Amino acid sequence: MGRFIPLSIPNFEGNERKYVDDAIDQGWVSTGGAYITKLEQQLAEFLHTENVAACQSGTSALHLSLVEIGVGPGDMVIVPPLTFIAAVNPVRYQFAEPVFIDCDDSFCMDPVKLSEFCENECEFIDGRLIYKADRRQIKAVIVVHVFGNMADMAAIMKIAHRYGLKVVEDATEALGTKYTEGELAGKYAGTVGDFGAFSFNGNKIITTGGGGAVTANDPAVVDHIRFLSTQAKTDPHYYIHDEIGYNYRMTNIQAALGVAQMEELPEFIRRKQANFDKYARLFEGFDLCKLIPFRAGTSSNKWFYSLEINRDRITASMREIITALQDKGVQTRAIWGLINEQRPYFGSLTYKLEKAPYYAARILNIPSSTQITDEEIEYTADAVKQLFKELDNEK
Ligand SMILES: *Cc1c(COP(=O)(O)O)cnc(C)c1O
């Protein structure tokens, strides 16, 4: 068997089996049970927020946030182009239309371009932001904290308040990331905007197999989200429903996994941060690629590591690079394809996309599992450097 260093795999070194067995022994396996409320409490405490609703996925957390805002047919929602498509699809679930705004060097939404778009392309009348070209209302902005980095939320919140926009933070990749400096010091990703969505899918920093959670600045809104996520039972005994509900609640088996994972989260973050520093030392001064740092003034969970390929020297395609590294036993991946270039979004409105296509052609993610060993980190850095030297046009 050859060597294989996976990109990002789950880590079950804690009480996962014990708690899942317990949930099964008790017979509480579905959308009711003590582990669900326990996980919600752990998350609320960890994030220093009042109320958290556990749900079935990050996607459902985002969808319920848009439902709660009242995004509907004909509305517009500002979104990023360079992220996982699940951040944008819920806009379409509500029959609304996305507007794609560029990222900055953190891969997160650029507040300068966001502000320019609102100022130059829209009118703010009677508390509504109206897109001038077709008079549709822009109701919300979805900000993704890409790879555990954090967007410039202080700037984004000011713009949102100025134009009456609701802010949904997609913190699915950023559980545990927080500000350490500035006016938001101490605030966690997902707790700054009106809504914050989290994901516990298999490759996220903690996993429940599949799962997610949502918080909001208004605790009563979180209660309503929880109500909608369990089929909106106005009277659960006599099946009275006054609203359209969803089957979006997390199950107790998933939550049992989550409770164990939350116990380990601080250790997972510590390892991700330490491993990032090891990679940083190994790539220091190497001119064919560089390890992208996380935003200053934040403590990131450092979920995923990004190498920027020097495209002046290396013109090989992402496919060639990834396949060559795969052959050396190192699993890597390209950053996402731009969402506005995916078939369902052909023709969608875009605004000054420059950095997103720039980074889409250059970013390679390298192995970042919490179990990775020092030797594997060194092997990975060597494999990447050796390949890039071979591919260097100036060699
Ligand atoms: C993982 C992810 C989601 C979706 O979460 P699921 O739990 O898989 O539904 C949404 N947005 C981003 C940026 C993600 O990385």
* Interval 170-208: pLDDT, tens: 999 999 999 999 999 999 999 999 999 999 999 999 999
Tell me, what CATH number does 158's domain have?
3.40.640.10
- Residues with Cβ within 8 Å of 18's Cβ and at least 6 positions away in sequence, in order, are 260
- My answer on whether 32 and 128 are in the same domain is yes
Q: Which residues pair with 305 in a beta bridge?
A: 366
- My answer on whether 189 and 272 are in the same domain is no
Protein residue whose Cα sits closest to atom 13 of ligand 1: 84
Which residue among 84, 88, 149, 339 is best mutated to probe the pocket of ligand 1, counting the most ligand atoms within 8 A of its Cβ?
A: 84
* Distance in angstroms (rounded) separating the CA atoms of residues 176 and 129: 33
Q: Which of these ranges, 22-26, 228-232, 340-344, 391-395, has the smallest mean pLDDT?
A: 391-395
DSSP helix/strand/coil, 249: strand
- My answer on whether 200 and 69 are in the same domain is yes
Give the pLDDT confidence score for residue 204 in this predicted structure.
98
DSSP helix/strand/coil, 370: coil
Is it the case that residue 64 has pLDDT exceeding 90? yes
- Residues with Cβ within 8 Å of 357's Cβ and at least 6 positions away in sequence, in order, are 338
* Distance in angstroms (rounded) separating the CA atoms of residues 46 and 34: 18
Is it the case that residue 2 has pLDDT exceeding 90? no
Domain contains 3: no
- My answer on whether 256 and 273 are in the same domain is no
Give the pLDDT confidence score for residue 245 in this predicted structure.
98
Strand-strand pairing, 363-366 and 76-79:
unpaired
- Residues with Cβ within 8 Å of 121's Cβ and at least 6 positions away in sequence, in order, are 131, 132, 133, 351
- My answer on whether 145 and 247 are in the same domain is yes
DSSP helix/strand/coil, 293: coil
Which residue among 170, 207, 301 is best mutated to probe the pocket of ligand 1, counting the most ligand atoms within 8 A of its Cβ?
A: 170
Picking from 210, 241, 262, the residue at the C-terminal end of a domain is 262
Give the pLDDT confidence score for residue 1 in this predicted structure.
59
Q: Which residues pair with 223 in a beta bridge?
A: none
Tell me, what CATH number does 351's domain have?
3.90.1150.10
- My answer on whether 173 and 71 are in the same domain is yes
* Distance in angstroms (rounded) separating the CA atoms of residues 106 and 94: 29
Taking only the tens place, the pLDDT of each residue in 225-270 is 999 999 999 999 999 999 999 999 999 999 999 999 999 999 999 9
- My answer on whether 74 and 179 are in the same domain is yes
Q: How far is the CA of 209 from the centre of ligand 1 (A)?
A: 13
Domain contains 5: no
Domain contains 134: yes
Residue 395 pLDDT class (50, 70, 90 cuts): confident
Q: How far is the CA of 24 from the centre of ligand 1 (A)?
A: 27
211 Cα nearest atom in ligand 1: 7
N-term to C-term CA, the chain: 33
Which residues does a 6 A CB cutoff place in the pocket of ligand 1?
A: 57-59, 83-84, 86-87, 144, 170, 172-173, 199, 201, 212
Mean pLDDT, residues 113-119 = 98
Q: How far is the CA of 149 from the centre of ligand 1 (A)?
A: 15
Q: How far is the CA of 58 from the centre of ligand 1 (A)?
A: 5
- My answer on whether 271 and 206 are in the same domain is no
Q: How far is the CA of 180 from the centre of ligand 1 (A)?
A: 25
- My answer on whether 158 and 291 are in the same domain is no
144 Cα nearest atom in ligand 1: 13
- My answer on whether 79 and 194 are in the same domain is yes
Domain contains 2: no
Protein residue whose Cα sits closest to atom 6 of ligand 1: 58
Domain contains 30: yes
201 Cα nearest atom in ligand 1: 7
212 Cα nearest atom in ligand 1: 7
- My answer on whether 129 and 270 are in the same domain is no
- Residue 71's domain comprises 16-262
Q: How many domains in the chain?
A: 2
Domain contains 11: no
Picking from 262, 283, 299, the residue at the C-terminal end of a domain is 262
23 close to 253: Cβ distance less than 8 angstroms:
yes
- My answer on whether 80 and 119 are in the same domain is yes
364 close to 294: Cβ distance less than 8 angstroms:
no
DSSP helix/strand/coil, 29: coil
Picking from 217, 242, 262, the residue at the C-terminal end of a domain is 262
